[in-house]
């Protein structure tokens, strides 16, 4: 399973575009988050038009993760002629879309992936980000491979870290911040160094970056979410 990143920046570093990724499985298109810059990115993807169905996994409702979701839903409904699935553990996403004028008949909401999908398992994992919003990462298993995508999170849940260190999770895609705070909302690089031993850091892909910090993260043994150049 290959995650194709459309952007890897934080909300306050739009140079790298909003953090979002997609993957294709069994000719279905799976998109993780749909921030302000994402619709323009997926609009140009042949895979979006050629797939059998589209599933959007939402980690939380901050604008840099959901800002162009309404446009994507409307485009798919009225231009491509299809209703896409919106997956989010809580129904607040419906309320937000309704305020944006996106009626429920234009998409299919579910709090988890529908049961008809075979050989893929997606589990929402509650994460700490901000106190006034429920936020989630996703544990995704396709075949024999399992990855964890943190969304915005101030750390790594104990269960996820334990499974990763034991080899049950193949790769981590982790929100990583270089600025330290007494009230963290993103995972500080110093904390990430403490949690992840050097031998495992090549399996951790840093994302949601707050600046041009590639050299710093690579020097510590971590990898960077890869955004492919597109014509």
Residue 11's CATH number: 3.60.15.10
pLDDT digits (tens, 9 = 90+) for 48-63: 999 999 999 999 999 9
- Nearest 10 degrees: Cα torsion 32, 34, 39, 45: 0
Decide if 42 is inside a domain: yes
Decide if 126 is inside a domain: yes
The C-alpha angle with vertex 71 and arms to 68 and 72, in degrees rounded to 5, equals 90
DSSP-based three-state secondary structure for 106: helix
Could you tell me the residue range of the domain that residue 208 belongs to?
A: 4-224
Which residue in this structure is represented by tokens 């290959």? 2
Decide if 217 is inside a domain: yes
pLDDT digits (tens, 9 = 90+) for 95-135: 999 999 999 999 999 999 998 898 899 999 999 999 999 99
pLDDT digits (tens, 9 = 90+) for 145-187: 999 999 999 999 999 999 999 999 999 999 999 988 888 999 9
Provide the number of structural domains found in the chain. Answer: 1
Asked whether the predicted pLDDT for residue 230 surpasses 70, the reply is no
Decide if 229 is inside a domain: no
The C-alpha angle with vertex 131 and arms to 128 and 136, in degrees rounded to 5, equals 35
Decide if 111 is inside a domain: yes
Cα dist. 137→15, 23, 58 in Å? 24, 16, 9
């Amino acid at each position: 399973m290959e995650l194709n990143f459309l952007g890897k920046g934080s909300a306050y570093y739009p140079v790298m575009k909003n953090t979002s990724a997609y993957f294709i499985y069994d000719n279905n298109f799976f998109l993780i988050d749909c921030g302000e810059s994402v619709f323009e990115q997926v609009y140009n993807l042949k895979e979006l038009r050629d797939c059998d169905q589209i599933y959007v996994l939402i980690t939380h409702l901050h604008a840099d993760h959901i800002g162009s979701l309404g446009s994507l839903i409307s485009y798919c409904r009225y231009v491509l002629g299809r209703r896409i699935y919106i997956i989010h553990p809580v129904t607040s996403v419906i309320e937000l879309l309704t305020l944006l004028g996106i009626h429920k008949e234009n998409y299919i909401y579910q709090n988890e992936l529908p049961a008809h999908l075979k050989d893929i398992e997606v589990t929402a994992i509650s994460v700490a980000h901000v106190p006034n919003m429920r936020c989630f990462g996703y544990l995704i298993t396709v075949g024999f491979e399992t990855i964890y995508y943190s969304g915005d999170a101030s750390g790594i849940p104990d269960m996820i870290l334990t499974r990763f260190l034991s080899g049950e999770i193949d790769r981590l895609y982790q929100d990583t911040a270089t600025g330290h705070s007494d009230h963290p909302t993103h995972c500080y690089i110093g904390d990430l160094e403490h949690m992840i031993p050097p031998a495992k850091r090549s399996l951790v892909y840093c994302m949601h970056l707050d600046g041009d910090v590639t050299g710093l993260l690579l020097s510590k043994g971590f990898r960077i979410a890869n955004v492919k150049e597109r014509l």
